[in-house]
A and B are shown apart, each in its own frame.
Chain A
Amino acid sequence: MARIMLENVTRRFGPVIAVDNVSLPIIDGEFFALLGPSGCGKTTTLRLIAGLEVPTAGRVHIGDRDVTGLPPRERDVAMVFQDYALYPHMTILDNVGYPLKVRGVGRREIRERVGEVAGFLQIAELLERRPAQLSGGQQQRAAVARAVVHKPQVFLFDEPLSNLDAKLRLEARGFLKHLQHELGITTVYVTHDQAEALALADRIAIMNQGRIIQVGTPLEVYRRPQTTFVAGFIGSPPMNLVPCHMEIGVEAAHLVGTTFRLDLTSLRDRLALTFRDGEEVILGIRPEHLTLCGQGDPFAIPAETYAIQPLGAECVVILLVDNTTISVRLFTGEPPQPAGRVWVALNPERILVYRKSGELVSG
């Protein structure tokens, strides 16, 4: 039906390159998230798909059509804006029915179809009101209703949840995912909230400085972040990154920090192929693959307790190792006693090693 293809798309604003040579195939019917910090070009990418921006170079395809030069109205897309952009002078009925009205649908049919969508989105009793008389969550539903009413080929969301309070946001997350599942419309979703992207998307593209850093399923980007940027961006708390260096001898191999020395001798031959002796690297490990332990563990490193955050079901302990803070996620309700000096054990199978430049060393 409608897959989206971005081919080497670049968008410049004067000297600023907002989107830098992005190529992206988005599969028909998938929920695709564009994730990145503010100013990374994710919203511009979305607007390029919507037709609100014209690429400086490259092509945009929706379905089988090249839509690069087409205005938004000829692209058959719908967009939900961050501020919802519900027209304040129109009732919800007129707001939701607007895409039909501009398509020349008759008054009676508009009422009918808006009623249908409003029932589905549980805003049927609000149709005579104006946007200002609705709560944030209701406004959001009205904005979504306006987007689905004309059954577009593509759904575009520009941070639709960021104006809701925390509790409503979780509710709306479930609702959006369910809705997309029901309708099966190709969806591109822009967010700076990694948890939202992980929870909602079938696939995620992480962007930084106008480029796509990594594309993958939520589990892929969570488990194997391709760069330290992605590693530090995804996860709450994000992946621990500790600078250290490789020591590769004739027989043995070690990962060495100022206060610790991890024995990787079993992997010596493989490590010798990829690393030079003494090469500076970055050790990456997720907080849940760390445990507090006694001194005897071979993969234990000494650390200083910094803060303890009990979260109910789990507990996050923040430690200082070599002046770097690392987080440990303990799946216990009972927070440990704050003891100054502790030992923390790494799960050796979960260790990722990054080059100093930031990219992941595979294997």
Chain B
Amino acid sequence: MKLVQLVLARIAFYLFVTLVAAFFALPMLWLVLTPFNPRGTLAAEIPSPATVANFRLVFANAFAMRALLNSAILGIGAMLITTLVATLAAYALSRADVPGRDLLIYALILFSSVVTGTAAMVPIFLLIFYLGLIDTLLGVILVLTGGLLPTAIFIMRDFVEGIPRSYEESALVSGATPRQMFQDVVAPLVQPGMMVVAIWAFVHVWGAFLIPFILLRSPTSMPATVAIYSFYTEAGTPIITLTSSYALLFALPVLVLYLLVNWRYGFRFFGGIKR
């Protein structure tokens, strides 16, 4: 009797887990299958016959292709600036005695959600306009970086705090200048943290829509998130075959990035936990 109950409970549990898994897996499956289907459909059906004609059409769209490049420029640019600045700032905030630094960091994080949000859209537009950075990728990179930095600093600071100071002191006594100490000792030790921040920043910018949509005017500088609308009909309905193909292309770099980091670092994302 007990055993039967146990088995039934187990079966019910796995059934439930399977349902939940399917719920999340189905859209992924759709994304992988639909681009190869000659008919655009919202069902995840196995394409027969499979075709690459959709991709041929997508590749022929120069505007959309250029947009992927723009996204890469935005993503890599914001990633580099965010990681570099966050690492230096986190180091300074961790090691120097700034009065009220915790308050400062929390305030920054709070404001950052406002800065990149819709609420600040008008002032940001005006600021970028008067700076002469409207319709430049640099302007978008700066605004996005500004939004990412507080959280990035917060994440990085945890990594920096995890490094015993005696490493740095030992380097200083060994005869290193502060710069040599940072390059030779601190930077390699916080590298896992820098990777976390870099990927996180890249993924954020890669998927950003609103800010590039507002700050960029000419079609040649639009990123992929905006360019996907070029696969809509004039009536505003998506051409499913093409949007799904483009979406798959759009998802690939992020996927590759994750796999790369997994291979190199084995997903040691021990962010907030002090070892």
Contact = CB atoms under 8 A, between A and B. Distances in A.
Interface of A: 50-52, 71-73, 77-79, 81-83, 85, 87-89, 98-99, 101-103, 146, 150, 156
Given A88-B189, A98-B184, A102-B180, A79 B170 contact: yes
A50 B173 contact: yes
Contact of A98 (B164, B174, B188): B174
A51 B173 contact: yes
A73 B172 contact: yes
A73 B180 CA distance: 11
Contacts of B180: 102
Sort chain B's interface into a size bin.
10 to 19
Contacts of B176: 73, 98, 102
Contact of B166 (A83, A98, A102, A150): A83
Contacts of B171: 87, 98, 102
A111 to B, nearest CB: 17
A77 B164 CA distance: 21
Interface in B152-190: 164, 166-167, 169-177, 180, 184-185, 188-189
Given A52-B169, A81-B166, A81-B170, A73 B185 contact: no
A72 B177 CA distance: 9
A72 B168 CA distance: 12
Interface in B171-217: 171-177, 180, 184-185, 188-189
Nearest to B170: A85
B169 A81 contact: yes
Contacts of B185: 87
25 contacts: A50-B173, A51-B172, A51-B173, A52-B172, A72-B175, A73-B175, A77-B173, A81-B166, A81-B169, A83-B164, A83-B166, A85-B166, A85-B167, A85-B169, A87-B170, A87-B171, A89-B189, A98-B171, A98-B184, A99-B174, A102-B175, A102-B177, A102-B184, A103-B175, A156-B173
A125 to B, nearest CB: 23
A83 B163 CA distance: 12
A127 B166 CA distance: 22
Nearest to B191: A89
B91 to A, nearest CB: 16
B174 to A, nearest CB: 4
B186 to A, nearest CB: 10
Nearest to A77: B173
B201 to A, nearest CB: 23
Nearest to A80: B170
Contacts of A103: 175
Contacts of A89: 188-189
A83 B169 CA distance: 12
B270 to A, nearest CB: 15
Contacts of B167: 85, 87
Contacts of B175: 72-73, 99, 102-103, 150
B189 A72 contact: no
A361 to B, nearest CB: 43
